[in-house]
Amino acid sequence: MTGGVQLLAVGAATPSWRLPATEVGAAWGRAGGRGQAAVCAPDEDTLTLAAEAAGRALAASGLQTDIVDGLWWGTTRPPFAEGPSHAVLARAVGLSHRSGGALASGSPHAGVEALLAAADAVGAGTAQVALVVVSDAIVPGLGTPFEARAGAGAAALVLVSHGGGASLGPRVTRTHPYLDRYRGDGEAVTRDLYDGRLFREEVFLPTMRELGEQLGALDVDRWSLPDPDGRLGATLARQLGAGTPASAAVYETVGDTGAAAALLGALGALDAAGTIGLVGWGGGRATGITITAREPVRGAVLVADAIGGGRTVTYAEALRARGQLVSSGETVPMGVPPQSAQFVRGADEMLGLLGARCVDCGTINTPPSIHPHCISCGSAKFVLEPLARHGRVHTFVVNETMPAPFVAPLPLAVIDLDDGARVMLQVTESAAALELGGEVELVMRRYAHERGVPVYGYKARTVGTEAR
């Protein structure tokens, strides 16, 4: 059914914080708690994770981003409930204005939906190169049993019609109109299951067994299986005779990453030849598919690095970053409303991080829209080009005095990029390692959430530090 759909490259990303389950348990007077979950810093969300994973997959593919025919993005909860989520991500990863694709959302099953839709487009020949991104940063209900396991992360795949090192195999899918985890209309947080035993005995295990047995007939070597509560994954693996699933270690490190979980749990295993079976579930649906690698898939060797690391944070820090712990009083509004003309004029240059290279003297002026004339020679002849995403710190400060919604300390650095452009940007949490001449890379981050609109742009992240 998927015809000759090939997997060319993969990438993964997780947020920079880790929240130990014991932190959450202690807050609610519950003993114990196992493992940890990856949680977003204040400037990270499902889109920034998606952009980072996509960037890594595209880099591993060796392809130019402008030949990608479409973006298929699966996330339970897109950053704009209604709005340009897909368009913003497409621009942030450098896809052309002609690219297509689709956004799947509404449940964690959105991840496999995006994968299958992209595969179908490549199989049907309507796309030669498809970018699949699955990501989530679930905001769990406070005090729910699954809160400590609610993680965040992203995986990305580049699918091609020919020439990849792995192929997509058959798929199996089931649909039943049951309620699992859900978020009601207008609600801010995701509710837990109504009845854990009902879900386990009547919904999850029967459905998954049925799916798994069918997939298991296909000589699956490794598995990526859902684990909604920290126990069901192991139970399911036992019932399927699957050994320890490849996904177990991922769940242990970053928690349940929702729409990203099935692929994130599988990508690391693509570092070697073999067949992996992965299962995504949610919203009354479950879908399994196999991927057979004939050789190590490009980018797979880097997946473990993307999942590891992270700074351990307190429950209070995580709550504040998720917007669940909010200070009283007014916050300072953004001078430029996020719906206004400057964002329309500046969308490409902000999300695509463009510079204007002077044809006469070579100086790169940033951003182009405020530079009708070159700052070095006054010329008005420019060529637009994406800025280098790597450079060195020329000078920096750490702002310790900030009004809400800013959170101090806020480092800002003047950076000399590898292409000669000079920019000033905020620096991510990696700032402890900031030093003059130090290496930085530019990463997509959420600068603000203003009047209901997330505002994205690039920040600098120090290279070679543990915090990512």
CB 53 within 8 A of CB 14: no
Contact status: 428 vs other proteins (CB under 8 A): no
Distance CA 349, CA 271 (A): 36
Q: How far is the CB of 321 from other proteins (least distance, A)?
A: 17
DSSP state of 289: E
Peptide bond into 367 cis (omega under 30): yes
Contact status: 336 vs other proteins (CB under 8 A): yes
- Binding-site size for other proteins (CB under 8 A) equals 42
List 334, 347, 433, 467, residue binding other proteins (CB under 8 A): 334
Residue number, 141 or 411, with CB nearest to other proteins: 411
Contact status: 397 vs other proteins (CB under 8 A): yes
Residue number, 71 or 425, with CB nearest to other proteins: 425
Contact status: 457 vs other proteins (CB under 8 A): yes
The residue whose two tokens read 């406070």 is 142
List 1, 377, 404, 432, residue binding other proteins (CB under 8 A): 404
Contact status: 330 vs other proteins (CB under 8 A): yes
- x/- track of binding to other proteins for residues 199-238 (CB under 8 A): ----------------------------------------
SS3 324: coil
Contact status: 406 vs other proteins (CB under 8 A): yes
List 304, 414, 433, 463, residue binding other proteins (CB under 8 A): 414
Distance CA 367, CA 263 (A): 36
List 2, 76, 426, 430, residue binding other proteins (CB under 8 A): 426
Distance CA 343, CA 296 (A): 42
Contact status: 47 vs other proteins (CB under 8 A): no
Contact status: 350 vs other proteins (CB under 8 A): yes
Distance CA 137, CA 261 (A): 11
Q: Is 67 exposed, middle or buried (0-12, 13-18, 19+ CB in 10 A)?
A: exposed
Distance CA 7, CA 119 (A): 10
Amino acid identity, position 250: V
Positive or negative torsion for Cα 112, 114, 115, 121? positive
End-to-end distance of the chain based on CA atoms, in angstroms? Answer: 39
Question: What φ, ψ does residue 193 adopt, rounded to 5°?
Answer: -60, 150
Span interacting with other proteins, options 1-9, 106-114, 263-271, 399-407, rule CB under 8 A: 399-407
Q: How far is the CB of 332 from other proteins (least distance, A)?
A: 5
**Interacting residue ranges for other proteins, rule: CB under 8 A:** 330, 332-336, 338, 342-343, 346, 350, 366-367, 370, 375, 394-404, 406, 409-410, 412, 414, 422-426, 436, 447-448, 455, 457-458
